[in-house]
């Protein structure tokens, strides 16, 4: 029980009682109607037990997220893809309108004051509950914009509260920020490992402020641009406060953040989600990654800079570079995020020394995600890698972006934020004057709303954020707040092949696979061709999309990038940045009408 020793006795007891500390734990088995407040809310142990039952944070599943973005291709029926290729209405877009978690949070806030403890202790637990309430409402605002605000647990007989209309986004966000301000001022710094403390709350405050500030800045349909800087200034102030605390610093090894057995002492990880077989908290993504649940896009691969700091997309032949070329001389984070040529996997015994040949599948890009993959065959190691739920790297990115959007960013600011991320991986520093004088046309086309004297540096900070946080679940929110939904219309593409023939995918100059015509039969095993190492080539039929082949190439046998699908995608602005209130809810409560942003 290597990690259990880090936890205090009371939290161990709570974990034993509530299992995974999710919504199906303590609060579901003991609903509010079964917890008489006068009997339960007596001591700090009671407050701790209840609030621990509210614990929620990102987990290893986050490595598989962002499938609805330009970062990944997937065959899954993801919501935004279904919307862009179908006919979405309030009758078929129905998930997300759930409120039971808020009821449990508000029930605590209604009753915690009954405990016989000091005000400081009460405020600490109230701060945690308000932190969770802020997260709950932020998620609702991202999805619906205007929603009803409930500051207390409703009684089933409260017809006024139950059937109230939506409150405006401005009121909700003011309430969210008030909750986070209270939490940041009262939640203790010293808390059990694996639970949020003061600085985690402040990171959430800065994250929410950046989201809302940039959202208001770039979304004209809200008519709130004049209020954006208030939020951006909060993001700047709080992120700078976290940096000034000197409590955290970047890890020296970027890749190790995502495959380490224990992150409890890592100074970059502000909140760790602990995985350990002894705690019966396990999980790994190896099967999803090797067998394809999703695959990285070529657009993401091309976003990474060259190792010398120049743009990959400035190379005249970048669009026709093959897999091995693409990974040569790049930002080291590319090969710490995706399978790279020459990677050796432990799943290949007794030939562990043989470089892995990435597998090609229909509807996938050919690239494989390395971040979140554990290179081992030991089940204890596979299931015991911790997840960095909150990283200090995000604080640095928030600080830089907020200052850039406010127009106050200096070279010194870059050197104490983004350039620390680059220094970690031995990348050249970003220079404010240089990037503003030489704006990347590729990024400018992705984000046409960005303008002004700081256009170049804002775009480069966005690149840095995409690269640093790739595969960690941030991309969809970033696309939404930057008003870049049109990027989602682009169907993800994959590796480039100039046509049929033999190809090296391991970087040793020796062919590993062969693409053959759809009309050619794959030879039986004994008749298959081997390379100069005596290893049999992997055969794939290749051709145009929809043909009876495995590898779909954009130009069929004439080559091109791998095509993952061909269905036309249409992102309706501003409608698809939001979701409708489910029609069934409007029937129950007509005051939730009208739908916003052209939803029916």
Nearest to 494 by CA among 299, 341, 252: 299
CA atoms of 453 and 150, how far apart (whole Å): 42
Look up tokens 């970033």; give the residue.
478
**pLDDT value at residue 5:** 30
Please write the tens of the pLDDT for every residue from 134-187.
Answer: 999 999 999 999 999 999 998 888 888 889 999 999 999 999 999 999 999 999
pTM comes to 0.93
Nearest to 367 by CA among 337, 344, 338: 338
Residue 232 lies in a domain: yes
Please state, as a whole number, how many other Cβ atoms lie within 10 Å of the Cβ of residue 483.
21
**Cβ-based burial of 529 (10 A; exposed 0-12, middle 13-18, buried ≥19):** exposed
Query: Is residue 143 domain-resident?
Result: yes
The β-bridge relationship of strands 72-73 and 295-296 is antiparallel
In a domain, 461, yes or no: no
pLDDT of residue 161: 85
DSSP per residue, 372-409: T----S-HHHHHT--EEEEEHHHHHHHHHHHHHHHT--
Q: Domain containing 27 — which CATH number? A: 1.25.40.390
**In total, how many domains does the chain have?**
1
- Quick: pLDDT tens for 384-437: 999 999 999 999 999 999 999 999 999 999 999 999 999 999 999 999 999 999
Q: How far apart are CA 376 and CA 363, in angstroms?
A: 27
Mention every residue, 6+ apart, whose C-beta is less than 8 A from residue 221. 574, 597
Residues 6+ apart with CB under 8 A from 395: 203, 206, 239, 242, 243, 248, 270
Say what the pLDDT of residue 13 is. 35
User: Which residues fall within 8 angstroms of residue 530, CB to CB, at 6 or more apart?
Assistant: 536, 537
CA distance 228 to 230: 6
Domain for residue 130, yes or no? yes
DSSP character at residue 174: H
Q: What pLDDT does 403 receive?
A: 98
Q: Tokens 């960013």 correspond to what residue?
A: 409
Half-sphere exposure of 464 (CA within 13 A, CB side): 31
Evaluate whether residue 177 is within a structural domain. yes
User: Is residue 214 one of the residues assigned to a domain?
Assistant: yes
**Low pLDDT (below 70) residues in the chain:** 1-34
Six token digits for residue 349: 């015994």
DSSP state of 44: H
What is residue 110's predicted lDDT score, i.e. its pLDDT? 96
Please tell me the distance from the alpha carbon of residue 57 to that of residue 194, in angstroms, as a whole number.
10
Q: What are phi and psi of 276, to 5 degrees?
A: -165, 130
Report, in this order, helix, strand and coil percent for the chain, each rounded to 5. Answer: 45, 10, 45
Is 79 inside any structural domain?
A: no
d(CA 449, CA 427): 28
* Integer CA distances (angstroms), 221 to 71, 138, 225, 483, in order: 26, 19, 10, 11
Range of the domain at 44: 7-57+94-245
Half-sphere exposure of 564 (CA within 13 A, CB side): 26
Per DSSP bridges, beta strands 387-391 and 551-552 are unpaired
- 273: part of which helix (H) or strand (E)? strand 269-273
Instruction: State the alpha helices, DSSP H only, in 32-118.
Output: 37-40, 44-52, 79-85, 100-111
> Residue 272 pairs with which residues in a beta bridge?
388
Q: Is 117 helix (H, G, I), strand (E, B) or coil?
A: coil
Is residue 56 within 8 A of residue 132, CB to CB? The reply is yes
What is the DSSP code string of 521-580?
PPPPGGG--B-TTSPBPEEEEEESTTSS-SEEBTTGGG-EEEE---------TTGGGS-P
């Amino acid at each position: 029980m290597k990690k259990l020793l880090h936890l205090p006795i009371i939290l161990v007891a709570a974990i034993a009682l509530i299992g995974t500390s999710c919504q199906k734990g303590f609060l579901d088995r003991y609903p509010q109607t079964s917890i008489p407040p006068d009997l339960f809310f007596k001591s700090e142990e009671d407050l701790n037990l209840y609030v621990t039952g509210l614990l929620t944070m990102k987990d290893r599943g986050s490595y598989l997220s962002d499938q609805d973005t330009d970062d990944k291709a997937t065959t899954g029926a993801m919501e935004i893809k279904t919307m862009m290729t179908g006919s979405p209405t309030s009758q078929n877009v129905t998930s997300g309108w759930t409120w039971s978690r808020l009821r449990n949070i508000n029930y605590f806030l209604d009753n915690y004051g009954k405990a016989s403890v000091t005000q400081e202790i009460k405020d600490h637990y109230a701060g945690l509950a308000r932190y969770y309430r802020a997260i709950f409402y932020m998620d609702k605002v991202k999805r619906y914009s205007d929603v009803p605000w409930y500051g207390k647990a409703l009684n089933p007989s409260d017809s006024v509260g139950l059937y109230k209309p939506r409150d405006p986004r401005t009121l909700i966000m003011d309430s969210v920020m008030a909750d986070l301000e209270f939490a940041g001022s009262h939640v203790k710094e010293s808390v059990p490992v694996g639970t949020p403390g003061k600085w985690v709350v402040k990171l959430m405050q800065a994250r929410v402020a950046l989201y809302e500030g940039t959202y208001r800045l770039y979304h004209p349909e809200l008519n709130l641009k004049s209020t954006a800087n208030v939020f951006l200034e909060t993001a700047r102030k709080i992120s700078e406060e976290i940096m000034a605390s000197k409590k955290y610093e970047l890890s020296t090894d970027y890749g190790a953040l995502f495959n380490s057995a224990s992150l409890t002492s890592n100074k970059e990880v502000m909140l760790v989600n602990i995985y350990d077989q002894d705690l019966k908290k396990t999980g790994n993504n190896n099967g999803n990654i090797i067998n394809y649940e999703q695959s990285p896009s070529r657009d993401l691969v091309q976003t990474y800079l060259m190792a010398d700091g120049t743009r990959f997309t400035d190379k005249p032949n970048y669009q026709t570079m093959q897999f091995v070329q693409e990974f040569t001389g790049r930002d080291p984070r590319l090969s710490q995020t995706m399978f790279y040529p020459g990677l050796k996997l432990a799943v290949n015994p007794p030939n562990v020394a043989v470089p892995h040949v990435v597998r090609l599948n229909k509807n996938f890009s050919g690239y494989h995600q390395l971040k979140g993959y554990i290179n081992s065959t030991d089940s204890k190691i596979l299931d015991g890698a911790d997840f960095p739920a909150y990283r200090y790297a995000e604080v640095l990115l928030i600080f830089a972006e907020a200052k850039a959007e406010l127009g106050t960013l200096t070279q010194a600011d870059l050197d104490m934020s983004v350039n620390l991320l680059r220094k970690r991986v031995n990348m050249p520093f970003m220079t404010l004057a240089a990037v503003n004088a030489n704006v990347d046309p590729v990024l400018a086309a992705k984000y046409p709303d960005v303008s002004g004297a700081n256009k170049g540096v804002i775009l480069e900070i966005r690149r840095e954020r995409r690269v640093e946080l790739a595969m960690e679940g941030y991309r969809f929110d970033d696309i939404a707040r930057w008003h870049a939904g049109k990027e989602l219309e682009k169907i993800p593409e994959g590796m480039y092949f100039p046509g049929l023939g033999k190809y090296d995918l391991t970087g040793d100059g020796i062919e590993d696979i062969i693409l053959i015509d759809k009309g050619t039969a794959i030879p039986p095993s004994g008749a298959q061709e081997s390379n100069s190492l005596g290893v049999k080539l992997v055969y794939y039929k290749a051709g145009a999309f929809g043909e009876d082949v495995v590898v779909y190439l954009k130009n069929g046998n004439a080559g091109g990038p791998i095509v993952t699908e061909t269905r036309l995608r249409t992102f309706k602005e501003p409608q698809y940045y939001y979701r409708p209130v489910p029609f069934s809810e409007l029937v129950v409560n007509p005051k939730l009408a009208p739908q916003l942003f052209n939803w029916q």
